[in-house]
Amino acid sequence: MAEKQANVVQASSAGPKLPDGVIGLDALESSEPVSGCRVFTHYNGPTDELSGMAMGMCVLEPGSTPHPPHQHPEEEFMIVASGTGEIYCAGKTTKVGPGAMMYCRSGCTASHLVSCVE
């Protein structure tokens, strides 16, 4: 299992299945900023198809990254909502902007990382 790192939310398999609905940003509490990153967790728990899923967002200050390059057994999607940055995945760095999406497959042994340019 991956080591616990700041700004990383582990998927929870405890509790009831996630409810249908919409969760707005105003209904969430964020973590205290760590290394220029604030984390918001929208959903975290089991679903009809998955034993556990975590979904949320992080807001990065320019020049920051949420954590060092890392890997884990879970799949991961990352969507860039605004600003510009770089995502390191599958051995290469890609410049990204609004609408870009990253996917790392389950059990991926390659490290991945996002950093904010502006």
User: What is the domain count for the chain?
Assistant: 1
pLDDT at res. 79: 92
Domain residues for the domain of 58 are 25-116
User: Does 20 fall in a domain?
Assistant: no
User: Does 13 fall in a domain?
Assistant: no
pLDDT at res. 3: 54
**Domain with 93 in it: what CATH number?**
2.60.120.10
pLDDT at res. 76: 86
Residue 4: CB atoms within 10 Å? 7
User: Does 7 fall in a domain?
Assistant: no
Q: Report pLDDT digits (tens) over 85-107.
A: 999 888 889 999 999 999 888 77
Residue entry with tokens 């904010």: 116
pLDDT at res. 21: 95
User: Does 76 fall in a domain?
Assistant: yes
- Ranges in the chain, pLDDT < 50: 1-2
pLDDT at res. 101: 93
